[in-house]
Structure 1
Amino acid sequence: MNDTAIRILSAKAGETHLFFIGQAGYVIKSRNGQLMGFDLCLSECVERVEGHMGFKRLIPKILDPFELRFDCLVATHPHFDHFDMDAIPQMMSNHHTKLFASVNCETEVKRLMMTGENTSYVKPGDSVDCGDFHIDFVECDHGKGAPDAVGAVIAVDGKKIYMAGDTCLRMDRVNDIKKIGQLDVVIGPINGAFGNMNEEEFAGFAHALGSKLTIPCHFGMFATHGGNPGRFLEIMKKEYPDDKVLLMSLGEGIIL
């Protein structure tokens, strides 16, 4: 068993844990031990599909799809670094895990000949409950390549975690997100490519949301994706010195 799986399984009960799995992938463990996987990219399927070195995986795979029994998975859109076509069927094979995927993931689910068991398709404005997790799906702007992509605000154990998903800067949506309530964590992309916010844009967006903690993601996995966490940190220090920021290392877990 990988060290990351051991850390997740052994994380102390009675506390809420957040683990970084790479790219835009996270695992949340509730106080009761329930597990959510968010946009997990666990395989090398992107390189196989794209067929060139720009999408070669540059960080190790730290979690095997069969190591954890997830209560729910979220796939914000069908790009394979968010909807892992190799790993999702494996993680769903236990007939327990529920998948909440953006509506344009349905084509991929059918192509993989998944039965549709425990699979629900979501759009902005939808709200779902899965055990300890309540999820409000919100607007996301990832361009024409994924027009139905979603972001999510996850409520668990009295905490609210906003996962922006892959999105360009949309300051006009800040107030709508803030209406959901005080955010404990905001997580968003900094790679500045393929329609996503860059370091400066996410810094300003996160500050406007007024979250207690800001965590950047979507960097380091593929050469073509870009994203400089050092630059993001410098921008936050200079422009928003009172905001709490965390750069999570691969496999790192924190208590919320």
Structure 2
Amino acid sequence: MLKVALRKNESLWAEVLQQSTDARQFQLWWLGQSGFLLQWQGKRVLFDPYLSDSLTRKYAHTNKPHVRISERVIDPALLQGIDILSSSHNHTDHLDAETLQPLLANNPQAAFVIPEANRDFVVERVGCARDLPLGLNDGQSLQLEPFTLHGVPAAHNELERDAQGNCRFMGYVLEFGPWKIYHSGDTLWYPGIVEVLKPFQVDIALLPINGNDPARGVAGNLNAREAVELGLAIGAKLVIPHHYDLFEFNTADPQIFVDLAEKMRQPYKVLALGEGIKI
């Protein structure tokens, strides 16, 4: 039995459209795995959406089946008015052609932000023009009014760079109004991560909790304890966990995160699939 989304498809999109455009608040929805939709003043940012069953089909008859344990939250064809669309790295649950092609077709105005190191791969997978994506590297920023997007390194499992020194795995800090939101992409804790993130004075950190188990045969992430400890170390006002409850072989129990966050006094919010919050 698949885990059911709190809101999905037309119901979720109706909620998005009904939200206030008051500049004193923004809204954030979890779309499953590492996908988040942020809305402020009617402007929309979509982080790392995976909204298909492409991986389940691809690995169905292999020794690493990607068995879904939750339903898809929203048909990507429903997502309109997207101003920024991001991919943090080349793994399909963060760069999915079946998700991105309808999104780009329906949102020709969207800025498609990727790690510059991944341009050739992205163009081939998505089938877009080579100059369509906006490439970013760590230490660089993009001004996409009313947002600024800052690139930060991610280790998945290593800090990998291309021959020009560009990061292959990245996270992004989105700055707008008085807020800064850190979307980790996929990352482990690496030397210097706190020093990279702390100066941003992050308000909300979106952090993975599925951990790093080599037996899974895939690159890993922070576990629940590391996510809480990283939130504390960088002074995050709120931590929201992600990268769980999608595939049976690569998930985690969010209650472990909740228990640790409460014990260590890290403010947090666990979102249900398709659930939004107002800040």
- Report the TM-score when normalising by structure 2: 0.85
Query: Aligned runs of 1:12-31 on 2, under 5 Å?
Result: 12-14=20-22, 15-30=25-40
Comparing 39-48 with 58-67, greater Cα deviation is found at 58-67
Identity %: 27
Distance 1:145 1:127 in 2: 19
Offset of residue 155 of structure 1: 0.8
Query: Aligned runs of 1:195-210 on 2, under 5 Å?
Result: 195-210=220-235
Aligned to 1:245: 268
Distance 1:61 1:225 in 2: 17
* Secondary structure of the corresponding residue to residue 86 of structure 1: helix
Distance 1:144 1:183 in 2: 23
Alignment counterpart, residue 150 of structure 2, candidates 123, 130, 136: 136
Give yes or no for the alignment of 1:56 onto 2:67: yes
Distance 2:69 2:131 in 1: 33
Tell me the C-alpha RMSD between the 2 structures.
1.8
Instruction: Give 5+ residue unaligned stretches, structure 2.
Output: 1-8, 162-167, 213-218
Regions of 4+ moved over 4 Å: 144-147
Aligned to 2:93: 81
Aligned to 2:165: none
Aligned to 2:206: 187
Equivalent residue letter for 2:147: F
Instruction: Give 5+ residue unaligned stretches, structure 1.
Output: none
- Please tell me whether the aligned partners of residues 75 and 100 of structure 1 are also in contact (alpha carbons under 8 angstroms): yes
Distance 1:113 1:164 in 2: 26
- Please tell me whether the aligned partners of residues 34 and 71 of structure 1 are also in contact (alpha carbons under 8 angstroms): yes
Give yes or no for the alignment of 1:9 onto 2:28: no
Offset of residue 57 of structure 1: 2.4
Offset of residue 117 of structure 1: 5.3
- Please tell me whether the aligned partners of residues 77 and 146 of structure 1 are also in contact (alpha carbons under 8 angstroms): no
CA deviation digits over 1:162-192, x for unaligned, max 9?
Answer: 1111011125220221112x21101111101
CA distance change for structure 1 residues 105 and 218 in 2, over 3 Å: closer, same or farther? farther
Number of residue pairs the alignment of both structures matches: 252
Offset of residue 56 of structure 1: 2.4
Distance 1:174 1:184 in 2: 15
* Secondary structure of the corresponding residue to residue 268 of structure 2: coil
CA distance change for structure 1 residues 74 and 2 in 2, over 3 Å: closer, same or farther? same
CA deviation digits over 1:148-171, x for unaligned, max 9?
Answer: 110111112221101111011125
Distance 1:73 1:82 in 2: 11
Offset of residue 106 of structure 1: 3.0
Distance 1:108 1:220 in 2: 26
Distance 1:130 1:163 in 2: 17
- Please tell me whether the aligned partners of residues 92 and 98 of structure 1 are also in contact (alpha carbons under 8 angstroms): no
Distance 2:118 2:160 in 1: 8
Equivalent residue letter for 2:174: I
